[in-house]
Amino acid sequence: MDFSGLTGGLQDALGDLDLVIDQAVIDQAVKTLHDTSGDLTDSGFRRLQVPVSVFGASARGLELGDHHGKAHQVIRATLEGVILDLEGFADGLRRAEELVRSADDDAADQLARRQAAAELLVDASQHSHGDERNHEARNQYLRDGGEDA
């Protein structure tokens, strides 16, 4: 009996799908994100606020100080968003890694079940009660090459 169709169907279902995960790259990316996120949050940029008076008491100095304060707020808000993005990306990497690992485990379980099913089919096809009983009956009833006992 040919069971190549059992594995061929799985290969056809997967097609040209090829997912290569380099664990070292993922680990390094997560480590870098973790290490540098502290640098951004603790850099002091949030606390760095230059008083408007530093730019002088003239109208132009006050205007420049006002624009500097607004630009600082924009950069600060942007950096806070980038930090959230980096933390979200690191979480996404961890979750993706868990999903791939889980998918690998699920695939291994499915393949083990399919292998067990194929082995049962092979065992069932290699043993014939009909052949066994025919052989026993011939030996019991037709001794001496087919003559009556």
pLDDT band with cut points at 50, 70 and 90 for residue 21: low
| pLDDT computed for residue 86 by the predictor | 78
Residue with tokens 């993922």: 26
2, pLDDT greater than 60: no
**Residue 46: how many CB atoms within 10 A of its CB?**
13
Q: pLDDT tens-digit profile of 43-55?
A: 666 667 788 888 8
Region for residue 88 given its phi and psi (left: phi exceeds 0; alpha: psi -120 to 50; beta: otherwise):
alpha
In angstroms, how far is the first alpha carbon of the chain from the final one? Answer: 37
Per-residue pLDDT tens for 68-108?
988 888 888 887 888 788 778 878 888 888 888 888 888 88
Helices 23-41, 59-126: inter-axial angle, 10-degree rounding? 160
